[in-house]
Structure 1
């Protein structure tokens, strides 16, 4: 028998393959990104009035009306927001439930006077 010149090295265990796990994580990430519904946040808090039926999904082309009478449409605020919403055609109006009815009627009259063919009032789903 010949003597060994080098001592036996202890064998290291093979590392677990990480690539399949990374692939699964990326597939899940892509799945959630593709199925997610991204909406723009409202410019201010609004408590929508309740009505029976399914709640509408918020859209980018919504005219927001706060309890204090502030208007917002996209990046525009105040009277220009009202004009831009009326010019866009059918208007989705998300008005705060605490807004006085007289103020809501005034805004609806202004929208009608500026040529809005239809106004849809966004409500919270109720029973």
Structure 2
């Protein structure tokens, strides 16, 4: 009986710890709080002077690259950065994302090769 109690308590504490941690990182993958940002965005990718079509861009990252995102924009930044730092590293792609959070002023984000 005590073992079950401690396993249950440990599970709940891990859940609470994960929620608290998620509130302080930009991606917020495991945050149970409601989505409080809405982002309109579009991604443009240029390789060797040729801009990829929207369909080719979506195929490259295996995610939508234009539209409305209900989660943190940092999720898409991370997705693009990880791809370009690994599989797409040799392509030396120029990536530009134009986005607006909660209807505010448009911003630009560019992937920087290291």
Q: Which has the larger radius of gyration?
A: 1
Please state which band the TM-score falls in when normalised by the shorter chain.
0.3 to 0.5
Query: Normalised by the size of structure 1, how large is the TM-score?
Result: 0.34
Return the structure number with greater strand share.
2
